[in-house]
Amino acid sequence: MKRVIVTGGNRGIGKQISKELSELGYEVILTARSEEKGKAAAEEINADFMQLDVSDVKSISAFATKYSEKYGSLDVLINNAGIFQDKDKSAHDPDFNMIRKTLDTNLLGAWQLIIELLPALKTSNDPRVINISSGLGAMNEMGANYPGYRLSKVGMNAMTKMLHAELGHEININSMCPGWVRTDMGGQEAHRSLEQGAEAAIWLVTEKDIPNGKFLRDKQVIDW
Ligand code: NAP
């Protein structure tokens, strides 16, 4: 049975991905920063739960140690947890504390988690990392506003490319945009359902031959 870690799995796209993978027979380790919310979500979808705050360096290290002791190997890591706090901020009127917090959570947390879980991933015969990024981090479409969020996803995409250049021969790693999805983050005006938002991530986990070192939306490679 393939083993998958999902970060930020207590609600939104992360919970939907966890639910569908669990239904497909994957062993899902749903992680969340809130023990109470994470446990409740994991119970609901028949997944295991482990506490993990991706904005906290110590929490990531403790999680990786505990995970390796408990499970040993890992087939898929889905870096889904994220925050979007600077919806009403612009690059010429930034809130640098908000930007730092966003980079810590969306970029550095995901990056550190990959590094700490490399030994566990390398024991898999088909290790995969899926970074849930955003079109707002696409350089070819870079525009106004949301400076922290945009920068965190640009950084996530760059991190994906760097790690692919260094480790792509042994670990499959991609960034993907789920589209605009109806979640707490996306809001109720968003075009996509949770199922549609999760679809490409499920494909990146389950499909045999997938791209490597790319940025994708709707299962297609898109420009960075
Ligand atoms: P969401 O409904 O706001 O859920 C975000 C999840 O991340 C929650 O489970 C939240 O946990 C968790 N999280 C936040 N900070 C965390 C931390 N420090 N440690 C651990 N977990 C943390 O958002 P979503 O729409 O499902 O977004 C999921 C991913 O898709 C994000 O990376 C987002 O950037 C990306 N994305 C979303 C859209 C969209 O339209 N929705 C579009 C493009 C990309 P709490 O409940 O504890 O806050």
- CA gap 154, 34 in Å, rounded: 27
Separation between Cα atoms, residue 119 and residue 122, nearest integer Å: 5
Q: What percent of the chain has pLDDT over 90?
A: 100
Q: Which DSSP string do the residues of 126-163 spell out, in sequence order?
A: S-EEEEE--GGG-GGG--SS-HHHHHHHHHHHHHHHHH
Distance 186 CA to ligand 1 centre (A): 9
pLDDT bracket for residue 96 (50, 70, 90)? very high
Cut 0.85: pTM above it: yes
For residue 164, report the distance from its CA to the centre of ligand 1, in Å.
24
Per-residue pLDDT reduced to its tens digit, 115-136: 999 999 999 999 999 999 999 9
Pocket of ligand 1 (CB under 6 A): 7-8, 10-14, 32-34, 37, 52-55, 80-84, 105, 132, 134, 177-178, 180-181, 183-186, 190
- State the pLDDT confidence band at 205, using cuts at 50, 70 and 90: very high
Stretch 30-38: mean pLDDT, rounded?
98
pLDDT score at 141: 94
Q: How close is the Cα of 148 to the center of ligand 1, in Å?
A: 15
Q: CA quadruple 41, 119, 111, 101: dihedral positive or negative? A: positive
Question: Which among 5, 6, 7, 13 is the best mutation to test ligand 1's pocket, defined by most ligand atoms within 8 Å of the CB?
Answer: 13
pLDDT of residue 84: 98
7's torsion region: left (phi>0), alpha (psi -120 to 50) or beta?
A: beta
Provide the pLDDT for residue 25. Answer: 98
146 is catalytic: yes
How many Å from the N-terminal Cα to the C-terminal Cα in the chain?
A: 33
Token pair, residue 67, equals 């995970």
Closest atom of ligand 1 relative to the 180 alpha carbon: 40
DSSP-H helix ranges across the chain: 12-23, 35-45, 57-71, 96-102, 109-121, 147-167, 194-206
Name the band, by pLDDT with cuts 50, 70 and 90, for residue 213.
very high
> Ligand 1 mean position to 92 CA, how many Å?
25
Distance of alpha carbon 215 from alpha carbon 127, whole angstroms: 18
Amino acid identity at 157 = N
- 120: amino acid identity, one letter: A
Residues 96-125 have a mean pLDDT of 98
- Ligand 1, atom 21: nearest CA belongs to which residue? 8
> Burial letters for 179-194: b for 16+ Cβ neighbours within 10 Å, e otherwise?
bbbbbebbeeeeebeb
Query: Which residue lies with its CA nearest to atom 4 of ligand 1?
Result: 12
Pairing of strands 215-217, 220-221: antiparallel
Query: Would you state the pLDDT for residue 44?
Result: 98
Using CA positions, which residue lies closest to atom 31 of ligand 1? 82
Read off the tokens for 104.
């810590």
Confidence of residue 151 (pLDDT cuts 50, 70, 90): very high
Most distant CA pair in the chain, distance: 50
Question: What does the alpha-carbon distance between residue 135 and residue 124 come to, in Å, rounded to a whole number?
Answer: 30
User: Confidence band (pLDDT; 50, 70, 90) for 24?
Assistant: very high
> Atom 2 of ligand 1 has which residue's CA nearest to it?
12
* Spacing, Cα 81 to ligand 1 middle (Å): 5
Number of the ligand 1 atom closest to the C-alpha atom of 132? 32
